[in-house]
Amino acid sequence: MAKKFHNFIAGKWCEAQSGQTFENRNPANWDEVLGVFPKSGKEDVDKAVRSAQEGFKEWRKVPAPQRGQIMKRVGDLLVKHKEDIARGMTKEMGKVLMETRGDVQEGIDTAYYAAGEGRRLFGQTAPSELPSKFCVSIRQPIGVAGVITPWNFPMAIPTWKIFPALLCGNSVVFKPASDVPLTGTRLVELLLEAGVPPKAINLVHGTGSTVGIPLVEHPGVDVISFTGSSAVGRQISSISGQGLKRLSLELGGKNAQIVMDDANLDLALEGVIWGAFGTTGQRCTATSRLILQEGIYEEFVERLVERTRNLKLGDGLDSSTDVGPVINEKQRENIHSYVEVGQREGARLLCGGESANEGKLSKGFFYRPTIFVDVTPQMRIAKEEIFGPVLAVLKVKTLDEAIEVLNATPYGLSSSIYTQDVNQAFRAIEDIEAGITYINGPTIGAEAHLPFGGVKDTGNGHREGGWTVYDIFTEWKTIYVDYSGKLQKAQIDTEKERA
């Protein structure tokens, strides 16, 4: 019998009110059921939001440095349980153990950053235009934060949102992706163990349509933070727009790596292999396009295909595995349908392009790392997010053309250029349309203390990570203290003085 897991609502672990459940299975071995989780609905969301409203009243009164101390304890607990959480994560979503450890580490970094922020959470002061008057602005919490997260970073992304939301004094209703309910549950357990008041953190399992959308629609939710596809982001945006809610969106990407003729090719090759096929290509920041200058094109493609063919597919818990499974059958079908689109569009398949089913691989959802050449910027495989191990290679003549091709998608999350020419590097930094640009590094590997997010259809202008996320989860309050003992009129008294 698989272990039964629960929601956490109003300070209690509980079933969905409907009593329904769903299974959490291992994408490397679909026969393995990791647990049974509540299939929640609107009524569970409503209860969770009402609990969070109560939790907010208590939590907002806790001084920020004390909230920071709790974040420090969460970080310590994540350190203590890192290996165990990483193994559970590999089982529930497939990426290799080295990467799931990194995912937990990103949560640890975010916790310790939040701990320090408890003693900063800076406001601003400015001089008044009038005498004996003092002006200051402070940050205040917003209220109930609805947090909806994807399955590709089951620990890191929830922590990017939940830790700053809590540190700022908000309460949280958390809906993890239904492919990764286990890691989400572990996170909530540790938050409670560290001392977050029970009603300030609520966990509701289920799907986007039955839990996510009701959470966005609920009038008691004041701020929403979502990471996922641009299509769902648009839907959330229009619902929360009607409610005049605060909203932060981190959406799709179609990230490219440029390699110029003068680049260190060994380095660029390592970069693209890691960027395109790490996490089985299932990162918002994954390298899904490779833009090569014509002088190195032939040699680079040849070396790339050879390296890619040698990548070993397998269970992420096996230390010899390079590339784990994709998340589920539906996603594998989606990836394959893009491969067919690419072929129809006239791109040439050099390797991969099919599921891998030999031996034990038949038990899971494996897809061979895939490379297309002769791709043009107009093709769908060059523009749309595939979210799998598929790399589209494009050939260009100049830096200008490389940047133009890089910018020719609706997205703008991450980007990269390999060159040894400082002038070319700075031109790229200036003209690439993306929230993140790497010089001589792959498109993946953002650090927790720097702004993370993108331009164009990748988001709605917010940045997570570092201190920028604290703007998402706070309201500014401006305070004027008049200690002159008389009525002073801004703009009017000052005008008199000028006369």
DSSP 360: G
Nearer to ligand UN1, 153 or 365 (CB): 153
Nearer to ligand UN1, 170 or 287 (CB): 287
Contact between 283 and ligand UN1 per CB under 6 A: yes
Binding mask 166-205 for ligand UN1 (x = CB under 6 A): ----------------------------------------
Nearer to ligand UN1, 35 or 150 (CB): 150
The token pair that represents 424 in the structure block = 């070319």
Q: State in angstroms the smallest separation of the CB of 106 from ligand UN1.
A: 6
Q: Which of residues 434-463 bind ligand UN1 (CB under 6 A)?
A: 444-446
Q: State in angstroms the smallest separation of the CB of 462 from ligand UN1.
A: 15
Nearer to ligand UN1, 39 or 463 (CB): 463
Q: Which of residues 113-172 bind ligand UN1 (CB under 6 A)?
A: 152-153
Contact between 416 and ligand UN1 per CB under 6 A: no
* Catalytic (active-site) positions: 250, 284
Contacts with 400 (C-beta within 8 Å, 6 or more apart), sequence order: none
Q: State in angstroms the smallest separation of the CB of 236 from ligand UN1.
A: 16
Q: State in angstroms the smallest separation of the CB of 176 from ligand UN1.
A: 14
Tell me which long-range contacts 190-194 makes (C-beta under 8 A, separation of at least 24). Answer: 190/74, 190/77, 190/78, 190/81, 191/74, 191/162, 191/166, 192/8, 193/73, 193/77, 194/70, 194/71, 194/73, 194/74, 194/77
Q: State in angstroms the smallest separation of the CB of 165 from ligand UN1.
A: 18
Nearer to ligand UN1, 65 or 445 (CB): 445
Length of the chain equals 499
Candidate ranges 194-202, 280-288, 421-429, 473-481; the one touching ligand UN1 (CB under 6 A): 280-288
Contacts with 233 (C-beta within 8 Å, 6 or more apart), sequence order: 226, 249, 251, 459, 460
Size of the site for ligand UN1 (CB under 6 A): 9
Q: Which of 462, 428, 433, 468 is nearest to 448 (CA)?
A: 468
Binding mask 224-263 for ligand UN1 (x = CB under 6 A): ----------------------------------------
The SS3 call for residue 195 is coil
Nearer to ligand UN1, 5 or 411 (CB): 411
- Output the DSSP codes for 78-144: HHHTHHHHHHHHHHHH---HHHHHHHHHHHHHHHHHHHHHTTT---EEEE-SSTTEEEEEEEEE-SE
Q: State in angstroms the smallest separation of the CB of 444 from ligand UN1.
A: 3
Distance, CA of 148 to CA of 157 (rounded, Å): 10
Say how many C-beta atoms besides its own lie within 10 A of residue 84's C-beta: 11
Instruction: State the Cα angle at 347 between 344 and 350, rounded to 5°.
Output: 120
Chain residues binding ligand UN1 by CB under 6 A are 106, 152-153, 283-285, 444-446
